[in-house]
Amino acid sequence: RNLKKTFPIHGGVLGGKVGEVVAVDDVSFSVEPGETLGLVGESGCGKSTTGRTIMRLYEPTAGEVEFAGKKLFQLKPEEMRQARRDLQMVFQDPFASLNPRQKISTILEEPLIVHGLGNAKERKEQVQELLHVVGLNHIHGGRYPHQFSGGQRQRIGIARALSTRPKLIIADEPVSALDVSIQSQVLNLMMDLQEQFELTYIFIAHDLSVVKHISDRVGVMYLGRLVELAPRDELYKKPLHPYTEALLSAVPVPDPQAKKERIILTGDVPSPADPPRGCAFHPRCPHVMEICKEARPTFKDAGGGHFVACHLLDKQG
Ligand code: SF4
Ligand code: MG
């Protein structure tokens, strides 16, 4: 609720704080158990920061995250450490997130040791089981990350996230670094695992086509703000925010008859250190009105759980 995260900007000769970037600006949403919420936006829109702040990998500036009845930002370090068992993260670059000097078996066993789960023999069995569930039963745990392909490394990253039997996994662009053919394999694996382990996902991606099949609902972020959030089919068929519309127009359609106009956004994404007044999208919006330059649109339900922050909604009544 009302999640906010700012980072200081340092500058000048003395390197003191000269300003701040509002990376996540008043973002609110919920995720139901067993659901997949897709979170989409261009790089720098705050989607990764949102994920990391929920996990408290970054300390929040303001707002609140409630997870299974616990207010995460109020937990003491030891309580947060315990809560992390239920919340895990999968990162974009499996190579960077796996210690190159650690054997795969060590990488997978580590979270079990940290959380005091099982004795040495049980942990060893667990590691085998984890490799099995991510489809790597044939590999030897004594090997090192560089001995695996990108897709295999991401499977290892997923196995590591699963090791503590979490309830929620925040996956930050888990397939963005992979070849298209490998992407769908990893996505399918994640969907299978979701069923098998009753997982809830927040799935972060930079384009709408990646999250289409996996998501129950999809949220779109722009310059640190959540601008639209809707049930999946609703968002893809009836986007209400002009930014979502533009993103969707870039997604290839399988049906060549279904012609659609590609909406080209003019101008660059403004600097998050100096976001435009009013609606942050207004300098690039094809539907911009006078009010958009002055007043920030509120994020509200347009009906049926379809939330949008755009003044066009008020105009339509
Ligand atoms: Fe465009 Fe105005 Fe809606 Fe912003 S509020 S998306 S500028 S119409
Ligand atoms: Mg990112």
- pLDDT for 182-209, tens place per residue? 999 999 999 999 999 999 999 999 989 9
pLDDT tens digits along 225-242: 999 999 999 999 999 999
| Integer angstrom CA distances of residue 92 from 17, 176, 178, 206, 284 | 30, 6, 9, 11, 28
Residue 269's pLDDT is: 80
C-alpha of residue 220 to centroid of ligand 1, in Å = 14
Asked, for residue 149, whether it belongs to a domain, the answer is no
Check if 272 has its Cβ closer than 6 Å to any atom of ligand 1.
Answer: no
Check if 307 has its Cβ closer than 6 Å to any atom of ligand 1.
Answer: no
Asked, for residue 93, whether it belongs to a domain, the answer is no
Cα–Cα distance measured from residue 256 to residue 260, given in angstroms and rounded to the nearest whole number:
9
Check if 47 has its Cβ closer than 6 Å to any atom of ligand 1.
Answer: no
> Average pLDDT, stretch 76-82?
93
Q: Give the ipTM.
A: 0.97
Which of the four pLDDT bands, split at 50, 70 and 90, describes residue 17? confident
**H-helix or E-strand spanning residue 314:** helix 312-316
C-alpha of residue 313 to centroid of ligand 1, in Å = 9
- Expressed in angstroms, the distance from the first to the final Cα of the chain is 26
Q: What is this structure's pTM?
A: 0.93
Cα–Cα distance measured from residue 151 to residue 181, given in angstroms and rounded to the nearest whole number:
10
Phi-psi region of 178 (alpha: psi -120 to 50; beta: other; left: phi over 0): beta
Extract the tokens encoding 227: 């601008």
Asked, for residue 192, whether it belongs to a domain, the answer is yes
Residue 260's pLDDT is: 67
Atom of ligand 1 at shortest range from CA of 279: 4
C-alpha of residue 293 to centroid of ligand 2, in Å = 28
- The C-alpha angle with vertex 147 and arms to 142 and 149, in degrees rounded to 5, equals 125
Other beta carbons within 10 Å of 308: 24
> Average pLDDT, stretch 17-23?
88
Asked, for residue 74, whether it belongs to a domain, the answer is yes
Residue 254's pLDDT is: 64
Return the percentage of the chain with pLDDT > 70, whole number.
97
C-alpha of residue 24 to centroid of ligand 2, in Å = 12
Residue 253's pLDDT is: 66
| Integer angstrom CA distances of residue 232 from 180, 217, 239 | 22, 5, 10
Which of the four pLDDT bands, split at 50, 70 and 90, describes residue 18? confident
CATH of the domain at 77: 3.40.50.300
Strand order in the sheet with 217-222: 87-90, 168-172, 200-205, 36-40, 217-222, 225-231, 307-308, 300-301
Asked, for residue 217, whether it belongs to a domain, the answer is yes
Asked, for residue 52, whether it belongs to a domain, the answer is yes
pLDDT above 90 (res 265): no
As for how many domains the chain has, the answer is 1
Asked, for residue 15, whether it belongs to a domain, the answer is yes
Do the Cβ atoms of 168 and 31 come closer than 8 Å?
Answer: yes
With tokens 């970037």, the residue in question is 21
Which residues of the chain form beta strands (DSSP E)?
3-11, 16-27, 36-40, 66-67, 70-71, 87-90, 168-172, 200-205, 217-222, 225-231, 300-301, 307-308
Nearest ligand, measured from the Cα of 281: 1
C-alpha of residue 277 to centroid of ligand 1, in Å = 12
C-alpha of residue 49 to centroid of ligand 2, in Å = 7
Check if 151 has its Cβ closer than 6 Å to any atom of ligand 1.
Answer: no
Question: Residue 170 class from Cβ within 10 Å (0-12 exposed, 13-18 middle, 19+ buried)?
Answer: buried
Check if 292 has its Cβ closer than 6 Å to any atom of ligand 1.
Answer: yes
Domain that holds residue 216: 3-86+166-238
Other beta carbons within 10 Å of 285: 22
Check if 282 has its Cβ closer than 6 Å to any atom of ligand 1.
Answer: yes
Which positions ≥6 away from 254 have C-beta within 8 Å? none
pLDDT tens digits along 21-75: 999 999 999 999 999 999 999 988 999 999 999 999 999 999 999 999 999 999 9
pLDDT tens digits along 268-296: 788 888 889 999 999 999 999 999 999 99
> Average pLDDT, stretch 247-265?
73
pLDDT above 80 (res 95): no
Asked, for residue 72, whether it belongs to a domain, the answer is yes
In a mutational test of the pocket of ligand 1, which residue from 288, 290, 293, 307 has the highest number of ligand atoms less than 8 Å from its CB? 288
